[in-house]
Amino acid sequence: MSLFDHKASELHEFLFKKELAVSELVDESYKAISRIDDKVKSFLTLDEENARAQAKALDETRDNQNGILFGLPIGLKDNIVTKGLRTTSGSKILENFNPIYDATVVQKLRAAQTVTVGKLNMDEFAMGSSNENSAYQATRNPWNLDYVPGGSSGASAASVAAGEVLFSLGSDTGGSIRQPAAYCGVVGLKPTYGRVSRFGLIAFASSLDQIGPITRTVEDNAYLLEAISGLDEMDSTSANVDVPRFVDSLTGDIKGLRIAVPKEYLGEGVGEEARNSVLEALKVLEKLGATWEEVSLPHSKYALATYYLLSSSEASANLSRFDGVRYGYRAENVESLIEMYKQTRAQGFGDEVKRRIMLGTFSLSSGYYDAYYKKAQKVRTLIKKDFEDVFEKYDVIVGPTTPTPAFKIGEKTSDPLTMYANDILTIPVNLAGVPGISVPCGFANGLPLGLQIIGKHFDESTVYRVAHAYEQATDYHKRKPQL
C-alpha cells in the first residue's frame, strides 16, 4: 500500500505521532516517479534537491501547531510560475524560462509548508483537451497507457491517479481540471472565478482561467482549496469574499437538497455509459435524501462557439507578449526586428496555439468585432443568466463531466472540432464563472467516468457537501490503476 493511499488528515496524524517523516513522503514520491513516469510522462521538471532539503528542514521543525497540509508532496501544472524553477507552459517558446517570482498560490502553499516535487506537463499554453499539444511529450492515462489523460491539466490528474504525488494544482479555462479528473478517475474542482488568485498563472484567457485542486478524495480537495483561496492585491479579479473552512461542510447530510439536471447535459452527443452513470448517481443521491428534477439551460448549445471566440480573442492578446525580445525562445539568423518577431513566434508556438491566435485576431479585427466577439459576449451573458435562473430554485446542478470516457492517443489530433467538443459539458461553467467539481462515478471499458456537480457563485461548500456525500456512498474513488 502506498503512503498516498491515505488521506491528508491521516498522513498529518502519522507525521505528528512521529510514525512518519516528511522525508519518507518525499522519498515515496520520487520513487514512484522514477518507477513509472517513463510510462505516464507526467513531469517536465523535477525539483528533487530542493524538495529533499525542505523535507529535512520540516522534519526538524514539526510540532502540533502545523497545518493539515504540512510536509505533503504536491505537483504544479507548468503554467504556474515558480521562482528559480523552470516554467514552460508546455511551449518551446518558454523552454528555458526561470521565473524570478512565485505565483500567489505557490506562496500560499509555501505558507502551508507543502513540498513542491516538480512541474507537470500540459497542453501548450493550456490549449487542448488531451495533453497531446505539449511541445515536450504526450502524457498518458494511468488506467490505459494507450489513452489520453485529458487536458490541459492532464498530467496534473495523471500524476495523482498514478500515485506520484498526493495532490496537484491545475488550471481550468474551459474544463481543463474537471475533464482530466474525469478521465483519470480523481477529484478535480474549478473554483468560482475570483476565489483563487491568478497572479503568476501564465494567462490563456484571463476572464475564464482559474487555478484549482486535483486530489484523490473530496476531503483533500477541500483542504487544498482553503489553503490557496483568498483576496490578493496582486490580482484585480481576486474577490474579497470570506474563505470558509470547506471541510466543515463534509457532513454527509444532503436531506432536502434540490438538484437540477439539465436535459441538454443528457441529450444528443452524450454517450450511453456517461448518461447511465449519471442516472445511477442520481439514484444514490435520492437515497441520501436529495430530490432532483429535469431543467433546461437553453443557451448551452451556443457555449462551445462562444467559448472558442472569447478564449481565442483573449489568447491573441495575452500571447502577444511572447516575441523573443525580453525572455524565452528567440529565433536566430534573422536580418531585422520584424523578421525576428515573425520567426520567433512561427518556430516557438505549436499548431494549436497558432490556430487559436489566428481565430482570436480575426474575431477582434476591424469589421468582424461586432459580428463575432461582441455577439459572443452577449451570448455569454445569456448563458450566465440561464444558471442564475436555475439556481433560484435549486441548490446544485448535476450532469456528466464528459460525454464519453477517454479516447485513444492520436485518435482526434487531425480533427480539432471533434476535439473541441469534448469540453461541451464543462465550458458553460467557465462562461458563467460558477464552481464545478468532477468526482468518479463509474467505468466504461475499464476507463473512469466523472460526475459533474455545479454550484452557485462562491458556494463551493454546497458543491463539496454533495460530492462528499456521493463519494462516501460509493467506492469508485477507492479504485486505482494498476501500473
Positions annotated as catalytic residues are 77, 152, 176
Report the first-to-last Cα separation within the chain, whole angstroms. Answer: 14
- Quote the CA–CA distance of 16 and 266 in Å, as a whole number: 47
- Cβ contact 80:211 at 8 Å: yes
- Quote the CA–CA distance of 173 and 432 in Å, as a whole number: 12
- Quote the CA–CA distance of 471 and 468 in Å, as a whole number: 5
Buried b (16+ CB within 10 A) or exposed e, 204-236: bbebbbbbbbbbbbbbbbbbbbbbbbbebeebe
Distances (CA, A) of 6 to 1, 186, 227: 9, 14, 19
**CA neighbor of 297 nearest in space, from 429, 395, 459:** 429
Contacts of 300 (CB under 8 A, 6+ apart): 262, 264, 265, 383, 386, 428
Bridge partners of 440? 450
Residue 73 backbone phi and psi in degrees, to 5: -75, 140
